[in-house]
């Protein structure tokens, strides 16, 4: 079985700061990481490899420095790493990104065998759109299984897969035919750490690097800014609320403070008390 995992190198959003004057992102010194949801996808792929035997290819579109993330994927246990990089991809929105990645996936299929499963994370933590996975699936006409919390069964011989998918009010159990594209939810399991031997091997491994023409993209107007129907016209920082919080300056025992807090809540929002009473009855009787 051949599994491809699409990963993205993202800035660690927890450490991002916005420049107070220019309202631009201060990227300097912000470390990059593999998008956390993509790590769940990679871990799921490696578990399938452990169980059923598989070759796992990690695919990343990004600047040349994204090869660091691919090397990390190799350390965790991916067998092969492909970097899709070209200045023509700069400024791609999700439609242009899914186009470039779908072309790379087709090329991977030709070179190394058609993947039975393509994994991605449910979304990235910088763009947060959750659109690239569905975009790739639509372009490659793969069955698409998004927001998957669990792979229930994989029957390679019958070419079928059964999964649990998070819906809005419950969990769907779905069965479909391979090949599929799966986007993984945050997993309940923890990402493995690679061994030192794997790290040494990964440091020496070749990162296969392709540009637009390598993956058969002839029409460059389908890439980057020119291939992106969405246009970002304005970027700005959220406006701060004009007034800061009213501080409750209570003295004395914790109980006195607690009562002061409750009085302050009910003074600001008298209606809330009725809500709480009704609900508390339900919980307390």
Partner 1 sequence: MADAAKPAPAKGGRANTKKELPEHFKAYKHVWVAVEIEHGSVHSVSFELLGEGRKLADKRGVELAAVLMGDDREALGQAAQDCFEYGADCVYIACDPALKHYRNETSTQVLTDIVNTYQPEILLLGATNLGRDLAGSVATTLKTGLTADSTELAIDEDGSLAATRPTFGGSLLCTIFTLNFRPQMATVRPRVMAMPEREEGRSGRIVEFAPNIVEDDVVTKVLDFIDDRDSDTAALPYADVVVAGGLGLGSVENFQLVKELAAVLGAEYGGSRPLVQKDWITSDRQIGQTGKTIRPRLYIAAGISGAIQHRVGVEGADLILAINTDPNAPIFEFAHLGIVADAVTLLPALTQAFARRLRVTRMAS
Which of the residues 87 through 116 are near partner 1 (CB under 8 A)?
89-98
Which of 139, 156, 199, 220 touches partner 1 (CB under 8 A)?
A: 139
Closer residue to partner 1 (CB): 205 or 264: 264
Which of 174, 199, 205, 220 touches partner 1 (CB under 8 A)?
A: 174
Half-sphere exposure of 279 (CA within 13 A, CB side): 5
Closer residue to partner 1 (CB): 75 or 92: 92
Compose the 152-171 pattern: x for residues touching partner 1 by CB under 8 A, - for all others.
----------x--xxxxxxx
Closer residue to partner 1 (CB): 28 or 169: 169
Which of 18, 156, 199, 220 touches partner 1 (CB under 8 A)?
A: 18
129 binds partner 1 (CB under 8 A): yes
Give, as ranges, the residues between 249 and 278 that touch partner 1 (CB under 8 A).
250, 253-255, 257-262, 264-265, 268-269, 271-273, 275-278
283 binds partner 1 (CB under 8 A): yes
Instruction: Give me the phi and psi of 129, to 5 degrees please.
Output: -90, -30
CA 187 to chain centre: 12
User: Residue 58 and residue 123: Cα distance in Å, rounded?
Assistant: 16
Question: For residue 270, what are the contacts with CB-CB under 8 A and spacing of at least 6?
Answer: none
| 15 neighbors 234 (Cβ within 8 angstroms) | no
| Cα-only R_g, the chain | 24
Sheet holding 208-210, edge to edge: 160-166, 143-155, 180-184, 117-121, 2-7, 55-61, 80-84, 208-210
| Tokens 């079928």 -> residue | 160
Question: For residue 256, what are the contacts with CB-CB under 8 A and spacing of at least 6?
Answer: 250
| Tokens 């403070």 -> residue | 257
> What minimum distance in Å lies between the beta carbon of 201 and partner 1?
28
> What minimum distance in Å lies between the beta carbon of 159 and partner 1?
11
Closer residue to partner 1 (CB): 195 or 279: 279
219 binds partner 1 (CB under 8 A): no
150 binds partner 1 (CB under 8 A): no
| Tokens 């009855």 -> residue | 281
| 95 neighbors 135 (Cβ within 8 angstroms) | yes
> What minimum distance in Å lies between the beta carbon of 199 and partner 1?
23
Compose the 21-60 pattern: x for residues touching partner 1 by CB under 8 A, - for all others.
--x-x-----------------------------------
Which of 39, 74, 132, 184 touches partner 1 (CB under 8 A)?
A: 132
């Amino acid at each position: 079985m051949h599994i491809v995992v699409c990963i993205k190198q993202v800035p660690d959003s927890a450490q991002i700061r916005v420049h107070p004057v220019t309202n631009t992102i201060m990227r300097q010194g912000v470390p990059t990481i593999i998008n956390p949801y993509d790590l769940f996808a990679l871990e799921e792929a490696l578990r399938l490899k452990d169980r059923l035997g598989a070759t796992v290819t990690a695919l990343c579109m990004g600047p040349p420095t994204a090869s660091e993330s691919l090397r990390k994927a190799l350390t965790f246990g991916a067998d092969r790493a492909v970097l899709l990089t070209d200045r023509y991809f700069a400024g791609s929105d999700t439609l242009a990104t899914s186009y470039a990645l779908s072309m790379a996936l087709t090329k991977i299929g030709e070179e190394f065998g058609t993947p039975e499963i393509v994994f991605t994370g449910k979304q990235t933590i910088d763009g947060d759109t959750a659109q690239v996975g569905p975009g790739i699936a639509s372009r490659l006409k793969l069955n698409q299984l998004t927001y998957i919390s669990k792979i229930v069964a994989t029957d390679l011989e019958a070419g079928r897969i059964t999964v649990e998918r998070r819906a809005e009010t419950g969990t769907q159990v779905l069965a479909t035919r391979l090949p599929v594209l799966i986007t993984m939810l945050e997993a309940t399991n923890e990402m493995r750490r690679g061994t030192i031997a794997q790290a040494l091997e990964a440091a020496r491994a070749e990162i296969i690097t392709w540009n637009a023409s390598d993956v058969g993209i002839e029409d460059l107007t389908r890439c980057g800014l020119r291939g992106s129907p969405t246009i970002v016209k304005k970027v700005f920082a959220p406006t701060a609320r004009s007034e800061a919080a009213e501080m409750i300056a209570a003295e004395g025992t914790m109980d006195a403070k607690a009562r002061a807090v409750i009085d302050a809540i009910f003074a600001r929002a008298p209606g809330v008390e009725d809500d709480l009473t009704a609900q508390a009855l339900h919980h307390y009787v």
